[in-house]
Amino acid sequence: MNFNDSSYFSDKRCFFAAANGYSGFRSYFHEFFRPDDYTRIFVLKGGPGTGKSRLLRSVGTVFEDSGCHVDWIFCSSDPASLDGVILMEGGRRVALLDGTAPHERDAVVPGAVDTLINLGDGWDEEALILRRPDILTLTKVKQAEYKKAYEYLHLCSDYDEKIKAEAVRSIGEAQLHACIETLLSGKKANENATPIRRPIGAFCRFGYITLPTYEHIAQTVLYPVGHAALRSVFVHELSREAAKRGIAHLRSPSPFTDDATDAVFFTDDHVAVVAYPPVDEAGAIPVELPSSRTPFPDSAVTVCEEVQRELLLKAERSLSCASEAHASLERIYTAAMNFENNDRLIDTLIHRIKGILYEGYRK
């Protein structure tokens, strides 16, 4: 499936809250799900295949269909699954999230904000005990493949730094910032504004993918013209300069490193600047970057890119093997589940959340 196809994600506001990158697994759950930001947070627990993503999709769909504002948080390792949904209505916010490893989250403010929900209550434990050898083997395979993937990704980081350093040299910092100044000129500043990190890119078994969120919510999409490294450097420096000036924006960090930026979305004027090719390039406005003072990429950069591509391909294959092991685990757990209790739980949750969002819920 083409996960860059906007039809897959409909017109949803979609983000990732984690990433597989050069330093391993990186989680942004602490930023997405801060207790102070929510009226209620429901934290789902349970093994693979116990219905966490299904519950999240079912609840999110009901509220989206009723006109509620919904943010969909997709899994960065498997974008076909969900890590969470955020429901917003009339100043109230309710979150439901997958609180299992690797982005493990327990009740930070038990009872008053957080409620733990154990989907494992519906499984046949005796059936799982009989499959214990298979579960242990598959878990070890999955962990080993993730370890290999992260080793390949770590090796990529040095090549990435060399490529971006050449990109900066080829443009020149003065020319780069002159172009940034043109884009930021006239934007409203607020000394209390800080960038909000909201990833829209992931590296997974399908390779590097981006969600089409900004193409849906932005009134204008700007796309810098040039080599991928030049675009990445430009968008990252744009975010840094906007942050210095107190210009409110969402920053979408690269899945590979938080020191790179996939996109910037200026919330006041709904303008997005993206470093990746947008789904509809014809609908994006090209931004001409400064003319390069020296040829880019040169032969040394080309070699770095070739090595990096090979390492990324190896990492992608390892993540694919890890996903296959995870899918096998899901099948084992799903076969041992009685989903009738979970179906009743979905109905109960929907009724409870409606009371929070629509019926004058009081803390």
Report the candidate in 312, 293, 311, 307 with the shortest Cα–Cα distance to residue 167.
Answer: 293
Identify residue 252 by its one-letter amino acid code.
Answer: S
Q: In the predicted model, is pLDDT for residue 124 greater than 80?
A: yes
Indicate the angle between helix axes 228-245 and 173-184, nearest 10 degrees. Answer: 60
Domain boundaries, the chain: 33-123+338-358, 144-301
All residues at 6 or more sequence positions from 160 whose CB lies less than 8 Å from its CB, including other chains:
22, 256, 257, 260, 308
Rounded to whole angstroms, the Cα distance separating 233 from 301 reads 15
Residue 40 has pLDDT above 90, yes or no: yes
Confidence of residue 1 (pLDDT cuts 50, 70, 90): very low
Global pTM value: 0.92
Band the pLDDT of 273: cuts 50, 70, 90.
Answer: very high
pLDDT the model gives residue 226: 85
Position 106 scores a pLDDT of: 87
Q: Give the residue-averaged pLDDT of 56-70.
A: 94
pLDDT above 60 for 182:
yes
Q: Are 16 and 73 in contact (CB under 8 A)?
A: yes
- The angle at the Cα of 232, spanning 230 to 233, to the nearest 5 degrees, equals 65
* Section 73-82 average pLDDT: 93
User: What pLDDT, on a 0 to 100 scale, did the predictor assign at position 282?
Assistant: 74
- Exposure string of 168-207, with b = 16+ CB inside 10 Å and e = fewer, is eebbeeeebbebbeebbeebeeeeebebebbbbbbbbbbe
Question: What number is the average pLDDT over the span 254-276?
Answer: 96
How do residues 234-262 score in pLDDT, each as one tens digit?
999 999 999 999 999 999 999 999 999 99
What's the farthest any 2 CA atoms get from each other in the chain? 69
Instruction: Please state whether 158 falls in left (phi above 0), alpha (psi between -120 and 50) or beta.
Output: alpha
Residues above pLDDT 90, as percent of the chain:
72
Q: How confident is the model at residue 363 (pLDDT cuts 50, 70, 90)?
A: very low
pLDDT at 55 over 60: yes
Residue 296 has what DSSP assignment? S
Q: Is the pLDDT of residue 300 over 90?
A: no
Structure confidence at residue 203 (pLDDT) = 97
For 188: left if phi > 0, alpha if psi spans -120 to 50, otherwise beta; the answer is: beta
pLDDT level of residue 292 (50, 70, 90 thresholds): low
Query: CA 152, CA 317: separation in Å to the nearest integer?
Result: 11
User: Strand 40-45 and strand 114-118: pairing?
Assistant: parallel
Structure confidence at residue 166 (pLDDT)? 87
Give me the mean pLDDT over the 196-222 stretch: 94
Q: Is the peptide bond before 290 cis (omega within 30 degrees of 0)?
A: no
